[in-house]
Amino acid sequence: MPMKTTSRALAGRAVLALAASLALSLPLTAPVQAAPAAAAAALPDFTELVEKVGPSVVGIRTLERANGRSGGSGMDPSMEEFFRRFGIPMPGNPNTPGPRNNTPRGGNNNADEEPQQRGVGSGFILSADGFIMTNAHVVDGADELIVTLTDKREFKAKVIGLDKRTDVAVVKIEATGLPAVKLGDVGKLKVGEWVLAIGSPFGLENTVTAGIVSAKQRDTGDYLPFIQTDVAINPGNSGGPLINMRGEVVGINSQIYSRSGGFMGISFAIPIDEAGRVADQLRAHGRVIRGRIGVSITAVTKDVAESIGLGKPVGALVRAVEAGGPADKAGLEAGDIITKVDGKPVEKSGDLPRIVGATKPGSKAVLQVFRRGAYRDISVAVAEFEPDAPTRVASSEGAAAPGKSALGLTVSELGDAQRRELKLKHGVRVDAVDGAAARAGLREGDVILALDNVEIADVKQFMAVAGKAEKARAVSVMVRRGEWVNYLVIRPGR
């Protein structure tokens, strides 16, 4: 009996174990089989977007007549566009950035020679009646433009207007019923969001590439902040649209960062809201009307902000004020830090030209300025943008009465001729530099306008202020170098 009982128990346990193993295997098998489908469902499907937006993207060929001013590099036009865009000397003509050597194609000066292909780019249709947006660098300097639609129709185009500062251009073809794009809201664009580009890299029409938004408001030193993506962009993509997952254009593909000449995972697009404002003006006036106040600016560093009492590095440091310009007439001075324009904060120096540029010429703008430890408001009459005034190099004629300070600076009075040349009423000239001042970047010939937030009238005052400076504390120095003004920070204890 005990043996039978044991056998039955063992048999029962074996049955239970088999059932349990089967039960456990069923839920494990189903997810493994479903995983590929679930993963595929999580990936974006761009097919509908391409079908929707693709017909609105065009290829642009630029032609140039060989009338003695174009160069015959003999290379693929898309590569010519790349060399021209990034300022790289053309092969066979190392002294010229771009294909403008003086040897005409074919070796003659026949003005009737057929136009030769100069470059390739992309664009997209803004309206059904034939207005197209692209990059300014794609069409600038071309004698003829050929626009190719996805249905292979070709049209000659004319440039309505281009703006080199933003790299935006509008061209027009004579056609109707064209599929126009829908413009998106850049404010809703998020970092990490999927985006795609359609264009003609290396002349390969309607090529689609995809990626994500890597950053917004990327400041590269250009007039506008860029959208940074990892979408593959190559020569010929310039001027094509950057599209979000709703099929809306959020940018114009414009630049890449590359050390090799090819795509390296970083590309930049002009935000469509900024480009749209430029395009509207180009269509209305053929040019962009911008405001200006006549200042040259630079960034405010953390060390400078702390040393002058500004706290954090915000605003735009005025390096020079154009003589007779709007800022000069309003009383703005080199060394001022502009922190707001009509209440709009200037977080970084690049914000100022964008805010002022968008201000209507002839109107008044109120600048909040930080000057020698205090804020003040200055009203400026905004003028229309024009080329910057030329700069001059200051002369050291007439310097005298030297004095050496503990900061490592030997200074002297400004002569009358130098004051007239620089249009200065105060300041001292640097005759020699060593120690902490040399490490801070001061040079012989610099003019010191302020020290430790105190305006310097002469050598005597400079020596008094320098003598009071604590050796363990950073000391700010407002320096005029040529036509430029900047702040440097001397750290005596280092």
Residues that are catalytic: 137, 167, 238
Residue 208 forms beta bridges with which residues? 198
| Distance (Å) of CA 304 to CA 186, 299, 378, 443, 487 | 34, 10, 22, 18, 6
Q: Please give the Cα distance from 338 to 179 (Å, whole number).
A: 45
Chain centroid to Cα 92, Å, comes to 31
Dist CA 34 CA 354 (whole Å): 52
How far lies 255's CA from each of 89, 120, 153, 329, in Å?
A: 18, 15, 28, 38
Q: 429 and 397 in contact (C-beta within 8 Å)?
A: no
Is residue 437 classed exposed, middle or buried when 0-12, 13-18 and 19+ CB atoms within 10 A define those classes? buried
Q: CA 46, 50, 55 angle in degrees (round to 5)?
A: 175
Is residue 151 classed exposed, middle or buried when 0-12, 13-18 and 19+ CB atoms within 10 A define those classes? exposed
Cα gap 381→370, rounded to integer Å: 19
**3-state DSSP assignment of residue 312:** coil
- Sequence-distant (6+) residues with CB within 8 A of 249 are 53, 124, 181, 182, 183, 184, 241, 242, 243, 272
**What is the helix (H) or strand (E) element at residue 306, kind and residue range?**
helix 302-307
Q: Which of 458, 477, 471, 368 is nearest to 411 (CA)?
A: 458
Q: How many CB atoms lie within 10 A of CB 175?
A: 16
Q: How many CB atoms lie within 10 A of CB 78?
A: 21
Q: For residue 461, give the amino acid letter.
A: Q
Whole-angstrom Cα distance, residue 371 to residue 293? 18
Are the C-beta atoms of 366 and 346 separated by less than 8 Å? no
- Residues 6+ away with beta carbon under 8 Å from 5: none
Long-range (24+ apart) CB contacts under 8 A made by 152-156 are 155/130
